[in-house]
Amino acid sequence: MKQEATNTAHLDWDVRWKTEEGRADWIKAEEFVVETIPFLKEKGVQTVLDLGCGVGRHALLLAREGLTVHAMDASPSGLEFLGGQAEKEGLEITQHTSEMTNLPFTSESFDYLLSWNVIYHGNLSVVLHSLGEILRVLKPGGIFQATMLSKRNVEIASGTKIDKDTYINYDCFEKRHPHFYCNAAELIALLSGFAPIILKDCEHSKPGSYHWHLLAEKL
């Protein structure tokens, strides 16, 4: 598969972020992220990248905590909403429009990088390129927090396989673009260059919606 064919998720999400209804489920910060903030403060985190920020729920949360936040997404409508919210709250968040396979930052720029429900949107090549970029822009000892799709996720069974461990489910909005799935051993292999701190296979909002929740430190 050509890499370009996998970089399509933001097109669907850009449409969704334009409406209040489409944004409704993506306004509240995830508990795993909220619970990580004391750990980040203990580690002395200052500079943050929210990669694939969507409408900015986590970028806003982290900015409220006094961190220097950069928010990046390939969706203009998501960034537009984030900008409006940040202005209302008097928060300074630097926005970037870009894709995850080519981050527009110098090496070792960030203490912490968050990527919630983002980097599995593609095939293995896209995932590897994205993880390589994440490793590059994190400082040594930097913290990486993210989700990946688990092979326990029930939607894999109804998807159409288009590449190794990569599926499209044309009947589900959130899965009608390529998604990559992995098991525990495969995830650990993907995290070469990181020391895992937390790896949990968790259900999200729906039964069977298993995702990996991960927290790791750059070696």
Question: What is the predicted pLDDT for the residue at 69?
Answer: 98
Q: Where are the domains of the chain?
A: 3-218
The CA-to-CA distance between both ends of the chain, in Å, stands at 32
29-74 tens-digit pLDDT: 999 999 999 999 999 999 999 999 999 999 999 999 999 999 999 8
Residue 193 zone, left/alpha/beta (φ > 0; ψ -120 to 50; rest): left
Question: What is the predicted pLDDT for the residue at 8?
Answer: 65
Question: What is the predicted pLDDT for the residue at 17?
Answer: 74
Q: Could you tell me the CA-to-CA distances from 140 to 1, 104, 127 in Å, in that order?
A: 33, 19, 21
Burial class from Cβ neighbours inside 10 Å (0-12, 13-18, 19+) for residue 204 reads middle
Q: Report, in angstroms and rounded to the nearest whole number, the Rg of the chain calculated over CA atoms.
A: 16
Name the β-bridge partners of 150.
Answer: 182
Third-level CATH fold of 3-218? Rossmann fold (3.40.50)
Question: What is the predicted pLDDT for the residue at 173?
Answer: 64
- Nearest of 64, 62, 59, 99 to residue 82 by alpha carbon: 59
Question: What is the predicted pLDDT for the residue at 128?
Answer: 96
Q: What are the tokens at 82? A: 């984030």
Rounded average pLDDT per 10-residue block, the chain, 219 residues: 51 77 87 98 98 96 98 92 96 95 96 97 95 98 98 91 91 78 98 97 93 98
